[in-house]
Chains A and B, each alone.
Chain A
Amino acid sequence: MTRRHAAPRGADFIRARRSRADLLRADPFRTGPFRADLLRTDLLRTGPFHARLRSTPHRLCRGRIDRRGTSERGVGSVLALSVTAVLLAAVILIAPLAAVLTAQSRARAAADASALAAADVAVGLRSGSPCPAAREAAVAGGATLSACVVDGVVVTVRVAVPAARWDVVAVATAGPPR
């Protein structure tokens, strides 16, 4: 009961102090009392405070503000956008992964072939030098030779195959069976 007689605050206080002329200008056909129904009629009907009072509930405003169907509006777009972002992120992560896996397979095969070709030369099955033979085999396999170490008849090679952003490296050693 004490609250009912308390002075209105904020926007309502400003509106409560509007003059009779202002109220008539806003509603020329107004006939009723100007102060008694000010907070009820005026708050709901006229002026720039209309939207504001509808959006901010006030204890002087009677009745509940109808917000049904407004809080979830636009959730579809947000959801679709987030799902799309997740999918794109997955593709951006997975596509290089597939490229790297393919490059890894190629690098392994190229390293094997390169080491075998070099070892064939080192053992004496073919003429020439081991490392140029290793390079030739690596290039034929789509790789580049980055290291070639000949230790007697055992050859160790390192080849690299460019994948998405990295070089996939494979190492292979070949020699006669012991």
Chain B
Amino acid sequence: MTAEFATVVPAVILLLAVCLATLQVGVQQLRVQDAAAVAARVEARGDGGSAAIVSELVPGASLSLVTRGALLCATVGDAVTVAGVTLGGVRIRGESCAPTVDEPGTG
């Protein structure tokens, strides 16, 4: 339309990109959180194989398991990926705990 419009369009597109990136990070956080919940639950029930489940839910994520008293806590970390580009320095993590079952067959 006009020259002023042409100068403004890149700024608007940049803003749109930032909005979409925020949304993408939010969705990623949700997936990581869910993966941590599943991993904690599976591992606390004594089923094992939580690492395979996590790598299936969130490819490339790291998993660490810590026992705190009667609880087993799983932490899943992943590098933030925006528009297919992985930002190595920025990581998101999700943590979840589940009570361990001592005697198999009672849970």
Contacts and interface: CB of A to CB of B under 8 A. Distances in A.
Nearest to B68: A140
Contacts, number: 113
Interface string A111-124: 01100110010010
Contact of B34 (A75, A94, A105): A105
A4 to B, nearest CB: 42
Interface residues of B, number: 40
Interface string A31-66: 000000000000000000000000000000000000
B94 to A, nearest CB: 8
A77 B8 contact: yes
Interface of A is mostly: helix
A142 interface: yes
Contacts of B22: 91, 94-95, 98
Interface of B is mostly: helix
B96 A109 contact: yes
B56 interface: no
B33 A140 contact: no
Contacts of A101: 26, 30
B49 interface: no
B30 A126 contact: no
B80 interface: no
Interface stretch (A5-13, A15-23, A80-88, A144-152): A80-88
Given A80-B8, A102-B30, A125-B103, A116 B1 contact: no
B70 A141 contact: no
A142 B97 CA distance: 9
A113 B97 contact: yes
Given A76-B1, A95-B26, A116 B40 contact: no
Given A80-B12, A87-B15, A140-B73, A98 B30 contact: yes
A108 B97 CA distance: 11
B1 A72 contact: yes
A117 B19 contact: no
A77 B5 CA distance: 7
B87 to A, nearest CB: 18
Contacts of B30: 98, 101-102, 105
6 closest cross-chain pairs (CB), A and B: A98-B26, A76-B5, A109-B37, A80-B8, A117-B99, A140-B97
